Amino acid sequence: MNDYETISQMEPEDTITRPMLVSDIAEGRLLLTDGETEISALIFDREFKNKGIKKDSVADVTITLKATDEQKKYFVENISPCTDPEQSAKNYYIKFSDISIGTTFTRPVIIIDMTEKKDKSGNPYTELTICDGFSNVTARKFKTSADSLEKINVRKDGIARAKLTAGEFNGAKNFTCEDITALENDSPLTVNAFVRVPPVPLNVMYDEIYSVLKSLDKKLFGKYDSIAELTLKILEANKESYMTSSAAVSNHHNLKGGLLYHSYRMMKAADALCGVYTSLDRELMICGAVLHDIGKLWEYNTSILGGAEFTENGVLFGHLYMGASYIKESAKDGNYNKEKLRMLMHMIVSHHGNQEWGAVVFPATAEARMLHMIDDMDAKMYSFEDNYNLMEEGTVTKEKIKNLDTNIYKPSIMRKDILIP
């Protein structure tokens, strides 16, 4: 969206053409937004609906601004379905993270979960976990049972149009649902428009991992197949699930592509740290980072929304054991150096650091210890990033963040009321 001229940059008599979201349709008017500014524009083309233009669709729009001293008027000169495949409706709606406390707004959401509860007076209310495609939040619909929502087709895994008010509780935003309705049957929005994904495109991350591994694929002592070659073989055999699986049920990287994103960042961190700690085996560090959570492909089932649930084998064996076992099985037909293969497997079964956290054994090599620290670091950094998205600057969470074991503070360099003890 940033490559296009914005509505706010327009001067009188200017005409611009760019993708815009059609957020509503009225008689002779369209409500349009470029993701920053929302306008009402007059349209005289009565046949635009026959072109496939619908509410919630992204269209290529040409508008002209006419202005007098009293008011601005926008006119739609031309409109057609958007031809840019990179334009997604979710990028045009205001994000949960950008909403100011006290603001009431309406937008489409995907319902991740809905649970009926009772308030102190025994009245039912429904707690909704909803997603805008970037972050999950909880919204409470008071004096409303889950059954009553089901009766109007507002249900789990469905898309709804919600009127929400942003409040604050325990140092973070919370939301009250003022009204919610099922999305219209002819809406162009699909579940895929609201699935949370990492900020780096999945194919970009996978291609970079593949490229780094390919550069390491060299015979050891002129006769052994490389551990990088084994890693490439494992990735190619599981490419689709490796690219789309969640990395956790909760805590960190619990989104579609979360496993890939976590592994990608760990690989980049491992590569950088090998330039500092030069005694580390770079091939083992890179391959260990890429494969450390490979067992999660069988530990979890990841839904279309990116949510993860434990499988039976995930409960019985866990991803460390299953990951190491899969690597051993995958290596059967290759000529790999047994010591390097053994060290890779040790990194997998020990990367949780200690047995209290689920490690099979403690890390006993430098590479295994470093892998554990990188894994822990990336999980914790993700928790900061994820929570910061819904925090106001200069606030502290009133509750401890689960995998950080502390309340966290979001800095505000613009504050002037700072007291230094």
**Own/partner pairs, 366-372, CB within 8 angstroms, 24+ separation:** 366/277, 366/279, 366/280, 367/280, 367/281, 367/284, 367/285, 367/288, 367/343, 368/288, 368/343, 370/270, 370/273, 370/277, 370/280, 370/285, 371/266, 371/270, 371/285, 371/288, 371/289, 371/292, 371/347
The tens digit of pLDDT for each residue in 64-90 reads 999 877 788 999 999 999 987 777 788
How confident is residue 221, by pLDDT bands cut at 50, 70 and 90? confident
Mean pLDDT score across all residues of the chain: 91
Q: Which residue has the higher pLDDT, 401 or 264?
A: 264
CATH number, domain containing residue 357: 1.10.3210
The tens digit of pLDDT for each residue in 117-159 reads 999 999 999 999 998 888 888 999 999 999 999 999 999 888 9
Provide the CA 110 distance to its chain's centre, in angstroms: 13
- Which of residues 89, 122, 149 is at a domain's end? 89
Alpha helices in 79-226 (DSSP H): 146-151, 202-216
Same domain, 123 and 80: no
Q: Please tell me the total count of domains within the chain.
A: 3
Residue type, 158: G
Helices 282-291 and 227-237 pack at an angle, to 10 degrees, of 20
Range of the domain at 73: 7-89
CA distance 90 to 108: 9
**Any residues with CB less than 8 A from the CB of 273 and at least 6 apart, and which?**
280, 285, 370, 374
Same domain, 119 and 253: no
Same domain, 272 and 324: yes
Same domain, 12 and 100: no
List beta partners, residue 26.
Answer: 29
The tens digit of pLDDT for each residue in 241-283 reads 999 999 887 767 888 899 999 999 999 999 999 999 999 999 9
- Which of residues 139, 158, 193 is at a domain's end? 193
Helices 282-291 and 258-274 pack at an angle, to 10 degrees, of 170
pLDDT at 171: 64
**For the whole prediction, is pTM greater than 0.85?**
no
CA distance 26 to 47: 14
CATH number, domain containing residue 30: 2.40.50.140
Same domain, 29 and 49: yes
Same domain, 345 and 291: yes
Nearest to 58 by CA among 193, 158, 163: 193
The tens digit of pLDDT for each residue in 166-219 reads 998 766 778 999 999 998 887 888 887 788 889 899 999 999 999 999 999 998
pLDDT at 2: 53
